[in-house]
Amino acid sequence: MAKKNQVDALLTQLTQALTQAELWQYTQIEPRKLLSSEPFCCDTLQFEQWLQFIFIPKIRQLIVTGAPLPNNILIAPMAEIHYSKLACFLPLHRVLSELDAILSGR
């Protein structure tokens, strides 16, 4: 259970980091954009939208239902691609790196 608590706390930190970076979207996304089969929905969503509308809710749902969490993820490299030149990079990368490490058992 400690792992799920850590992950939940990191999801809260991720939400805060996205909000502080002004990357949090306050309007709902069109449902059809969530149906992509591409990794990170890269053909229909911005990376921060994927985090907000797919990743965070999915992981929180797994925590609430007691389902197993993913055990091999690498999200921080996507943050490097999308945000490395922005001031918000370090806080986002730190949280995503911690999520990668905890969920992947590193």
Whole-model pTM: value is 0.90
- pLDDT reported for residue 33: 92
Could you tell me where the DSSP H helices lie in the chain?
Answer: 2-20, 47-50, 56-65, 76-83, 89-104
Pairwise CA distance, residues 49 & 68, whole Å: 24
- pLDDT reported for residue 40: 86
Domain boundaries, the chain: 2-104
In CATH, which superfamily holds the domain spanning 2-104? YqcC-like (1.20.1440.40)
- pLDDT reported for residue 14: 96
Mean pLDDT by 10 residues, the chain (106 residues): 90 96 93 88 92 96 95 91 81 94 88
- pLDDT reported for residue 9: 97
- pLDDT reported for residue 47: 92
- pLDDT reported for residue 86: 78
Pairwise CA distance, residues 70 & 100, whole Å: 10
- pLDDT reported for residue 99: 96
Pairwise CA distance, residues 32 & 14, whole Å: 25
